[in-house]
């Protein structure tokens, strides 16, 4: 059993980390599309094309299940991938919604994410179908903030205040972090939104996988690829995964021509 | 006479604007690589490949001169483009340096830009060759700040303070804005760095072009392309160019296969 995970960049490593902790014996192959990050401000057509390319790369590396660890890609590509691929495909949207529905008491839930994720209305539709009131807010600066390693301090606080002030007064009791970068700001967001339960989908996905496949064989191997390697990538990977892990460059041209 | 301008995204429109104002009769064709923005955290090889692709696109649209309106691309690709292309190629680095040398009195100059631009050391080398002390600082959050339209207010101020506090106490009397997005933050940066001359290369480039080619014929046509069109692009273009201008989608796949 080999789990394939893709993301637009490094954010999906928060999902890798949770899965690896829940299923330490299972092999994982990850690809982050750092050459083309961010996806959050790209069009649907572009995001779907990239998602298909990355999924095929993971299948080529022996993945038996694909986790789309990117909310933007999950919003736009999940159904198409489920149609086209012969292996199970898991997104991050439905697990996040499920976690929020378990926690909310007043049936008022907030969702934050990239512009594309929020504009796609996917979270809002799923939650409203369950009779829940939704307040959604795009927070485009959160991803660069995390990638800059600014996880605390004045800048992070002023950015959080800028985006979340309206949510604070909206009466929500639960907030979904609709972007895989955001768990790294979870502490600060929780402090700012006192009394609000802050949920992300990574732990739910890890639990789902555990229920489905158990801790099947393998050696707990982590194979991590990026489509571009920038000078500060090593530090960023260590920051997110919580330990030093190796990674290698994936040839983007080969990825594109193989589809 | 037709001027071709390329940039990683929308930032180079600050250069388009200055050139259009200085040479209102000259035709300009612009391409912003919004599908692959930002370049600032990508590797040299990737940036060079993208620069060649975009230059060829502009030549295909009849450009007689190429302006590389992106500091990261200028740092890494200018010499290669000068070698490979049969038309004149202008970067943004040398003009910015020239402007700073004219203004500095104490021969202490600051440079801010993306991580790639600062790490490339191009500004530092050129300035030091002239016997000038240089203080350089990468400001990775400035580009997303501008693209989010946050040109004033608490967030912009705290980000500026975060990056520029050390520069403020460094004794520089001149600061080069080494990124074409940054002129949109020029007012705030100038306020924070009281008494420091803040320069960008756009007006110098416009003057150079005027000296070289004069206000040659044409109808002052602006042809603007992007490799991806996101929902907030129209607003961003209006914000930067200062008026409503049309733009169209360039086919990235065609751009890539043509090189």
Order of strands, edge to edge, in the sheet holding A222-226? A89-90, A65-68, A2-7, A27-32, A222-226, A248-249
Q: Which residue has the tokens 């790490």?
A: B119
For residue B137, the model assigns a pLDDT of 97
Q: Which chain A residues touch B34 with a CB distance below 8 Å?
A: 41-42
How close does chain B come to A214, measured CA to CA in Å?
Answer: 38
Which chain A residues are Cβ-neighbours of B143 within 8 angstroms? 144
Q: Work out how many CB contacts closer than 8 A connect A with B.
A: 78
**Cβ separation of A42 and B228 shorter than 8 Å?**
yes
Per-residue pLDDT of A100-153, as tens digits, reads: 999 999 999 999 998 888 988 999 999 999 999 999 999 999 998 998 889 999
Choose which CATH entry (3.90.1150.10, 3.10.20.310, 3.30.70.2740, 3.40.50.1860) describes domain A93-200: 3.40.50.1860
Q: What is the pLDDT of residues A26-39, one digit of tens each?
A: 999 999 999 888 88
Give the Cα separation of A209 and A22 in Å (integer): 9
Q: How far apart are the first and last CA of chain A?
A: 24
Q: What is the pTM of this model?
A: 0.84
With an 8 Å Cβ cutoff, is B115 touching chain A?
Answer: yes
The stretch A224-238 carries a mean pLDDT of 90
For A38-92, the pLDDT digits (tens) are: 887 788 888 999 999 999 999 999 999 999 999 989 989 999 999 999 999 999 9
Q: Pick from A11, A146, A230 the residue to mutate for testing the B interface (most B CBs within 10 Å).
A: A230
**What ipTM was assigned to the predicted interfaces of this complex?**
0.79
Distance separating alpha carbons of residues B57 and B50, to the nearest angstrom:
11
**Facing residue for A230 by CB, picked from B36, B43, B150:** B43
**A115 interfacial to chain B (CB closer than 8 Å):** yes
Per-residue confidence band for B259, with pLDDT thresholds at 50, 70 and 90: low
Domain extent listing, chain B: 2-91+203-257, 93-200
Question: Identical fold at A2-91+203-257 and A93-200?
Answer: yes
Name the 3-class secondary structure at A234: helix
Nearest beta carbon to residue A228 from set B46, B115, B148: B46
Q: What is the pLDDT of residues B40-71, one digit of tens each?
A: 778 888 899 999 999 999 999 999 999 999 99
Write out chain A residues lying below 8 Å of B119, CB-based: 231
Q: Which fold has domain A2-91+203-257?
A: Rossmann fold (3.40.50)
* Residue of A42, A115, A150 lying closest to B35 (CB–CB): A42
């Amino acid at each position: 059993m080999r789990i394939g995970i893709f993301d637009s960049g490094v954010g999906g490593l928060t999902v890798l980390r949770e899965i690896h902790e829940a299923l330490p014996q299972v092999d994982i192959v990850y690809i982050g599309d750092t050459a083309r990050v961010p996806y959050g401000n790209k069009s649907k057509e572009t995001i779907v094309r990239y998602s298909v390319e990355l999924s095929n790369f993971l299948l080529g590396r022996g993945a038996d299940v694909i986790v789309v660890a990117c909310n933007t890609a999950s919003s736009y590509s999940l159904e198409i991938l489920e149609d086209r691929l012969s292996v199970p495909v898991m997104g991050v949207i439905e697990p996040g919604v499920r976690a929020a529905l378990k926690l909310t008491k007043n049936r008022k839930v907030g969702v934050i994410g990239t512009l594309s994720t929020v504009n796609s209305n996917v979270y809002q539709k799923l939650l409203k179908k369950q009779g829940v009131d939704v307040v959604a807010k795009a927070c485009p600066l959160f991803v660069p903030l995390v990638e800059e390693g600014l996880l605390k301090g004045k800048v992070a606080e002023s950015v959080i205040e800028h985006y979340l002030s309206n949510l604070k007064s909206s009466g929500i009791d639960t907030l979904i972090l609709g972007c895989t970068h955001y768990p790294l700001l979870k502490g600060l967001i929780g402090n700012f939104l006192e009394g609000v339960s802050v949920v992300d989908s990574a732990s739910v996905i890890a639990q789902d996988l555990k229920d489905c496949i158990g801790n099947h064989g393998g050696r707990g191997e982590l194979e991590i690829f990026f489509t571009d390697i920038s000078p500060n990538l090593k530090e960023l990977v260590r920051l997110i995964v919580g330990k030093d892990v190796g990674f290698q460059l994936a040839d983007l041209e080969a990825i594109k021509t193989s589809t």
